[in-house]
Amino acid sequence: MSHIHFFGAGQMAEAIIRAALQRHTIAAGEVTLSDIDPARIALLRQRYHLNDDLSESAALSAAQYIVLGVRPQDDLAAVAAIINQYASPNATVISIIAGVTLEKLAALLGDTRPIARIIPNTLTDTGLGFSGVAFNPHVERAPLLPFLESFGKVMLLEERLIDAFTAFAVAGINYVYYFIESLADAGVLAGLTRTQSTQAVYENLIGAVEMLKLKQCHPRQLMDINNSPGGVGINGIYELNKSDFAAGLQQSVLAALRRTTELSGN
Ligand SMILES: NC(=O)c1ccc[n+]([C@@H]2O[C@H](COP(=O)([O-])OP(=O)(O)OC[C@H]3O[C@@H](n4cnc5c(N)ncnc54)[C@H](OP(=O)(O)O)[C@@H]3O)[C@@H](O)[C@H]2O)c1
């Protein structure tokens, strides 16, 4: 990838830069930054040895890709005005701003501007987890995909599903962390040490996913094999069935979806 400029050098922009540098889909000398806070620019330049030769206008003129990493409530119109003034009309804008639609971005950046709207996952350093991605018709996908795939896997979505994806898949990693914590606590409650319990949870989690992929079956089929009549497993599952475990999880996702929709004004 040639020159890439990040508008908004916050937490998510840094996570993307770190992962993409590590996987060599961007080169440090071809990365420039804009941020309201000059100290933040200086910190990231120094931390990742980024380009510090170019002014903002020169960096935007050189950019083939421009990442919008500001927050939904920031002054997007002002950012768009600077991009429109200095950047090539062919430069692709990659927006990671939650809730801001391709239509709204096109209204600010022009109808023929190539624009990708993505919701990155926070698992950037691992290369796992899906980013939700929607393109407008002007984006040339092939040269962009290696960069997008360097900070997560790419799930191409119809744009109408981006809010659901945000609430379920991107916010969803929280439920997994919460599940791991709760289950490790249960192991401690049962008498194992924190270390023993956590190790067992990690291994069971990874193993369960591998098993499901390997057997290509529904989780309930594997639970059926695990649970002998009147045995240990089915007694545990019985208690879980009586709790609001599934409904609580599903209601949490729907609450996150309501909030995402509210924030995006859709
Ligand atoms: N964090 C996540 O899990 C996640 C996941 C998917 C998508 N996103 C999206 O990613 C975006 C960034 O999130 P974040 O967590 O990285 O937020 P963040 O750390 O607050 O980063 C936003 C950065 O943009 C800067 N900024 C604001 N207005 C600007 C302007 N006009 N020109 C240049 N820079 C400007 C901010 O500076 P100041 O702080 O000085 O205002 C801040 O450094 C958001 O739109 C969010 O919806 C986040």
Do residues 100 and 264 touch, judged by C-beta distance below 8 A?
yes
Letter for the amino acid at 63? A
| 117 — pLDDT class (breaks 50, 70, 90) | very high
Between the CA of 110 and the centroid of ligand 1 the distance, in Å, is 22
Q: Whose CA is nearest to atom 42 of ligand 1?
A: 10
Sheet holding 4-7, edge to edge: 31-34, 4-7, 65-68, 92-95, 115-119, 130-135, 153-156
Between the CA of 8 and the centroid of ligand 1 the distance, in Å, is 6
pLDDT tens by residue, 5-35: 999 999 999 999 999 999 999 999 999 999 9
Q: How many Å apart are CA 105 and CA 132, to the nearest integer?
A: 17
Residue 127 has a pLDDT of 86
pLDDT tens by residue, 163-218: 999 999 999 999 999 999 999 999 999 999 999 999 999 999 999 999 999 999 99
pLDDT tens by residue, 46-74: 999 998 889 999 999 999 999 999 998 89
174 lines ligand 1 (CB under 6 A): no
Token code pair at residue 121:
């996952």
Do residues 120 and 95 touch, judged by C-beta distance below 8 A?
no
187 lines ligand 1 (CB under 6 A): no
Beta bridge partners of 207: none
Looking at the chain, the whole-number percentage of residues with pLDDT higher than 90 is: 93
Residue ranges of the domains in the chain? 4-159, 173-264
| 136 — pLDDT class (breaks 50, 70, 90) | very high
Question: In this structure, how many other beta carbons lie within 10 angstroms of the beta carbon of residue 249?
Answer: 14
Do residues 66 and 87 touch, judged by C-beta distance below 8 A?
yes
Q: How many Å apart are CA 99 and CA 121, to the nearest integer?
A: 15
Please name the helix (run of DSSP H) or strand (run of DSSP E) that holds residue 68, with its range, or none. strand 65-68
Q: Which letter, b or e, does each residue of 20-37 get, where b requires 16 or more Cβ atoms within 10 Å of its Cβ? A: bbeeebbeeebbbbbbee
CB within 8 A of 200, min separation 6: which ones?
Answer: 187, 192
Residue with token string 């889909």? 25
pLDDT tens by residue, 139-171: 999 999 999 999 999 999 999 999 999 999 999
Question: In this structure, how many other beta carbons lie within 10 angstroms of the beta carbon of residue 117?
Answer: 26
CATH H superfamily, domain 173-264: ProC C-terminal domain-like (1.10.3730.10)
74 lines ligand 1 (CB under 6 A): yes
Between the CA of 9 and the centroid of ligand 1 the distance, in Å, is 7
DSSP 195-230: HHHHHHHHHHHHHHHHHHHHHT--HHHHHHHH--TT
Chain centre distance of CA 179? 20
Q: Which CATH architecture has domain 4-159?
A: 3-Layer(aba) Sandwich (3.40)
